[in-house]
Amino acid sequence: MNETKIQTLLSRKLRTRPPKQFTDTERAKHYELKIVKYPAKTVPPSKFRPQQLPALLKYQTKPYHHKYSDLDVRMKMFDATYMPVSTGYVAICFYKPRTPKIVHFIPIEDFNSLQATSARKSVKMEDLINHKRSFNIYL
């Protein structure tokens, strides 16, 4: 199972039965999904591209605007997206074949603090699961 398949399942779940953390209308939500395959139980910093985590932090204080390219006008639904400040999450799925898939969401600032306090800069699965502000979505 790859990130695309998990992302499809997660998108379907968020559209049909979003968790209470995603239903407040005060702020938009952004997340970066990562898959960690069994037997690994940590999220290394190498899983993230250099721009991903800073962008999640940036859009918690600044609005997000994106202009879509005009390459194929027939396929384009609209020209641009504008979102006011948003809440950023890191979503991690520790994947093991033939077991239920659980995606753990943690706010970006909490993920960064867990990463900063870790000796190897990797975030452990137990730390994510037991964190007070994290929540899970079962796929």
pLDDT tens, N- to C-terminus, the chain (139 residues): 788 888 999 888 888 888 888 777 667 788 889 988 888 888 888 888 888 888 888 888 888 888 877 766 677 778 888 888 888 899 999 888 888 888 999 999 888 888 888 777 888 888 888 888 888 888 8
Instruction: Give pLDDT, residue 123.
Output: 85
The residue type found at 13 is K
Structural domains in the chain, sorted by start? 7-138 (3.40.1350)
The runs of H, that is alpha helices, within the chain are 3-16, 20-23, 52-58, 108-117, 125-130
Cα gap 113→121, rounded to integer Å: 10
Could you give phi then psi for residue 5, rounded to 5 degrees?
-70, -40
Instruction: Give pLDDT, residue 73.
Output: 66
